[in-house]
């Protein structure tokens, strides 16, 4: 038995307050919004992954437009028009000051932003989940050490830690992802620990223990599938938070060097001059960033509702 399902006759409870309490009452649906969000996230991920082979403009090419103008001697010559260019059929999101296409820059920027998000979530899930489950299952001194580690990590001002590490080491994609990923370990781990503790007392675990199952089997085959669902709902949130954190780092001038990320694109478009004359440079990436973060947040919200994952306000231990 891998997932836990109680076989109780719910019929007499239907329509009563108890039915609501055990999460039975109206049949839950993920809703249309969830699928739209999922569609957007899949779409943007595909665009990011396939960007180099998609028929889109080169993000670092300068598409300078020329026009015929009179020079000092009165002859008609080809003269470049001063970029940035506004939105047009040729450049759907306009261009930046170097006449580079903003749409393809935004899509290529998604590669880094999403990579940071997903690497962070995977790190948080793998390390945080493992530590949390070990702490919750074995309890005792192991739990004390791991919980203390979570507590220290949660009390650390996250963004300051991130800028510290990034400025001391380097600004590669991996350093940034791992740094943000470290910050995700504690929240994910605490959820995993709390879930493990509740499941460790359930009948199906006790049954497995009584039957003489190995501890590794109990953790991997009995606990993991149950702990994974709440962790998965949280991980969507972690991806969203990581994308935002990368943006914040970029705003402080500390994000991935050379390649453009969403945060960097917004920053380059948000000086006085750009905002006044070419607001589209900042607003294109802002819209992409906003929709992605909102979609991930909404999916996490809906899933939490769907699987009835409780938020944990447990700050004491």
Partner 1 sequence: MRRAIKRLLGLGLLLTVISMVTFAAMNILGDPLFNILGPIAGDVDNPESVKIIEEAKEQYYLDKSLPERYARWAGDFVTGDFGVRFSATGQPPVTDLIKERFPRTLQLMIMAQLIAVGLAIPWAVTAASRANSKTDKTSTVTAFAFVSLPNFALAVILFYVFSIRLDWLPDVYTATDPFWGFTHNHRLIQNLLPALTLGLGGAAAYQRLLRTDLITTLQEDFILMARSKGVSRRKVLYKHALRPSLFSLITVLAINISYMIGGALVVETFFRIPGLGTAVVEAVLREDFPVVLAIVMIVATAFMVFNYLADLLYGVIDPRVRTNEKESTPIFRSLWKSQTNLEAEEKINDETVEVSS
Q: Is 156 helix (H, G, I), strand (E, B) or coil?
A: coil
Q: Tell whether residue 197 is a contact of partner 1 (CB under 8 A).
A: no
Q: How many positions of this chain bind partner 1 (CB under 8 A)?
A: 42
- Contact between 141 and partner 1 per CB under 8 A: no
DSSP string, 169-189: S---HHHHHHHHHHHHHHHHH
6 burial (CB, 10 Å; 0-12 / 13-18 / 19+) is: exposed
Helix H or strand E segment including 231: helix 224-251
In 3D space, the residue among 176, 184, 191 whose CA is nearest the CA of residue 124 turns out to be 184
Q: Is residue 282 near partner 1 by the rule CB under 8 A? A: yes
Of 29, 226, 246, the closest CA to residue 119 belongs to 246
For 257, counting Cβ atoms within 10 Å of its Cβ (0-12 exposed, 13-18 middle, 19+ buried), the class is exposed
Q: Tokens in use for 185?
A: 């370990």
Asked if 2 interacts with partner 1 (CB under 8 A), we say no
By CB under 8 A, residue 55 contacts partner 1: no
Site for partner 1 (CB under 8 A): which residue of 46, 77, 152, 220? 152
Q: Is 158 in the site for partner 1 (CB under 8 A)?
A: yes
* CB of residue 74 to partner 1, shortest distance in Å: 39
How far apart are the C-alpha atoms of 306 and 147, rounded to whole Å?
A: 28
Single out the residue of 32, 72, 76, 272 in contact with partner 1 (rule: CB under 8 A): 272
For every residue of 48-85, DSSP letters joined together read HHHGGGSS---TT-----EEEEE-TTS-EEEEEPPSPP
Residue found under tokens 């943007």:
44
289 contributes a contact to partner 1 by CB under 8 A: yes
Place of tokens 């702990």: 227
Interface residue with partner 1, options 60, 275, 308, 312 (CB under 8 A): 275
Nearer to partner 1, 43 or 81 (CB): 43
Token pair, residue 86, equals: 């506004």
Query: Which residues within the stretch 214-253 sit at the binding site for partner 1 (CB under 8 A)?
Result: 240, 244, 247-248, 251-253
- Considering the rule CB under 8 A, would residue 168 count as an interface residue with partner 1? yes
**Does 259 sit near partner 1 (CB under 8 A)?**
no
Is the Cβ of residue 76 or residue 315 nearer to partner 1 in the bound state?
Answer: 315
Applying CB under 8 A, among 155, 210, 216, 258 the residue interacting with partner 1 is 155
Considering only residues 13, 38, 130, 164, which one is a binding residue for partner 1 as defined by CB under 8 A? 164
Of 160 and 211, the one with the shorter C-beta distance to partner 1 is 160
The tokens for 260 are 């453009």
Residues that bind partner 1 (CB under 8 A): 151-152, 155-161, 163-165, 167-169, 240, 244, 247-248, 251-253, 263, 266-267, 269-270, 272, 275-276, 279, 282, 286, 289-290, 293-294, 297-298, 313, 315-316
């Amino acid at each position: 038995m891998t997932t836990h399902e109680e076989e109780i006759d719910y019929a007499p409870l239907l329509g009563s307050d108890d039915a609501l309490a055990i999460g039975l009452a109206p049949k839950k649906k993920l809703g249309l919004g969830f699928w739209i969000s999922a569609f957007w996230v899949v779409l943007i991920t595909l665009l990011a992954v396939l960007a180099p082979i998609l028929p889109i403009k080169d993000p670092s090419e300068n598409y300078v437009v020329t026009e015929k103008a009179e020079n000092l001697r009165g002859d008609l010559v080809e003269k470049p028009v001063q970029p940035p260019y506004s939105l047009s059929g040729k450049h759907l999101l306009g261009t930046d000051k170097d006449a580079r296409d903003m749409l393809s820059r935004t899509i290529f920027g998604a590669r880094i932003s999403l990579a940071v998000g997903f690497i962070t979530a995977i790190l948080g899930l793998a390390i945080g989940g493992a530590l949390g489950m070990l702490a919750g299952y074995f309890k005792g001194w192991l739990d004390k050490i791991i919980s203390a580690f979570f507590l220290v990590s949660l009390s650390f001002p996250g963004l300051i830690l991130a800028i510290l590490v990034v400025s001391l080491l380097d600004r590669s994609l991996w350093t940034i992802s791992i740094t943000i990923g470290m910050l995700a370990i504690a929240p994910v781990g605490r959820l995993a620990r709390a879930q493990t503790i509740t499941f460790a007392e359930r009948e199906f675990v006790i049954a497995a223990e009584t039957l003489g199952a190995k501890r590794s089997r109990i953790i991997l085959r009995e606990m993991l599938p149950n702990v994974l669902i709440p962790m998965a709902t949280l991980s969507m949130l972690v991806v969203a938070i990581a994308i935002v954190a990368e943006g914040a780092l970029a705003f402080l001038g500390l994000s991935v060097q050379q390649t453009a990320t969403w945060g960097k694109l917004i920053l380059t478009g948000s000086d006085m001059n750009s905002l006044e004359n070419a607001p589209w440079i900042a607003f294109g990436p802002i819209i992409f960033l906003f929709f992605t973060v909102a979609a991930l947040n909404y999916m996490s919200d809906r899933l939490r509702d769907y699987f009835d994952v409780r938020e944990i306000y447990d700050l004491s231990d």
